[in-house]
Amino acid sequence: MVVIPDIIVQGVQMLLVLLLAPLLTGFVRKIKARLLRRQGPPLLQPYRDLIRLMRKDVVLADNASWLFRVIPYFIFAATWIAASLVPTFRSGLLFGLQ
């Protein structure tokens, strides 16, 4: 099967996008700050923010429904799938534009 290596490449690509995305945010913030002649947060600050946010409680409104719990995961998944279509380190991906 030719498909198996393709799936692995696709998986690596998706993982790479996921892991590097906060770094890009950190980089943009740094550049913005430097343009305003400020020091700016450290490059890895978004990772620290994410780890900190993971430890926080979930607070729901009294009348929040199951949809409120489910939708964030779907939004994440949809964004991730969309990102997987963009070639980063290899073109001709399984899902990507041929």
- Burial (CB count <10 Å: 0-12, 13-18, 19+), residue 26: buried
Nearer to another protein, 44 or 78 (CB): 78
Asked if 61 touches another protein (CB under 8 A), the answer is yes
Asked if 62 touches another protein (CB under 8 A), the answer is yes
Identify which range of 21-29, 30-38, 39-47, 59-67 contacts another protein by CB under 8 A: 59-67
d(CA 83, CA 77): 10
d(CA 70, CA 49): 22
By the criterion CB under 8 A, which residues form the site for another protein?
14, 54-67, 73-74, 76-78, 80-81, 84, 95, 98
